Amino acid sequence: MELYPKVYLYRRIVKAKLFIDDNHSNPIDLDHIADEAFFSKFHFIRIFKKTYGKTPHQYLTYVRIERSKILLKDDMPISEVCYEVGFDSISSFTGLFKRIVGQTPSAYQLQCLNKKQEIKSIPLKYIPNCFAEMNGWTKKSNFEEA
């Protein structure tokens, strides 16, 4: 039963978005995405932008950059991250990353790894004292001994 008008339209757009999410590391192109959703290219771009505030290409870039941030946090080498998320040039990846995130991939990675190390060594710095006390974490001075 249809819950609302245009339910099939929404399902096709969502299917396209999920296709981008699942296949962002592959060299997909707009025609391919539009085909998956059974739209003409022009119609697809228009409806996608209206729904998500980004064109399909902008969204694909966004997904790749977001995924690259996760991989950088996991200490993957930058060159590997670049190809893993679907870019085919390290310089274009680096330039795009800096433009969108505001830092180079290496600066971002260093910042994340420093935070990770700090969380490991001084976790209480990241936990409001009320929560730490409620959980009994402030009674122990060295969490490695807990």
Partner 1 sequence: MITRLNHVSIFVLDQESAYDFYVNKLGFKVHTDAPMGPGMRWLTICPPEQPELEIALMAISEGMMFTKESAEAMRKLVADGTFGFGVFECNDLLATYEELKAKGVEFKKAPTQEFYGFEALFKDDSGNWFSLGQKG
Chain residues binding partner 1 by CB under 8 A are: 3-4, 6-7, 10-11, 13-15, 17-18, 51-53, 119-120, 123, 126-128, 131, 133-137, 140, 143, 146
Vertex 87: Cα angle to 86 and 90 (nearest 5): 145
| Nearest alpha carbon to residue 64 among 102, 24, 17, 29 | 24
H or E stretch covering 99 = helix 90-101
Looking at the Cβ atoms of 54 and 90, the one nearer to partner 1 is: 54
Give the count of alpha carbons within 13 A of 3, CB side only.
5
Q: What is each CA distance from 141 to 10, 114, 121, in whole angstroms?
A: 54, 21, 11
Rounded least distance, CB 136 to partner 1, Å: 4
Looking at the Cβ atoms of 61 and 90, the one nearer to partner 1 is: 61
Rounded least distance, CB 115 to partner 1, Å: 9
Looking at the Cβ atoms of 73 and 90, the one nearer to partner 1 is: 73
Rounded least distance, CB 135 to partner 1, Å: 6
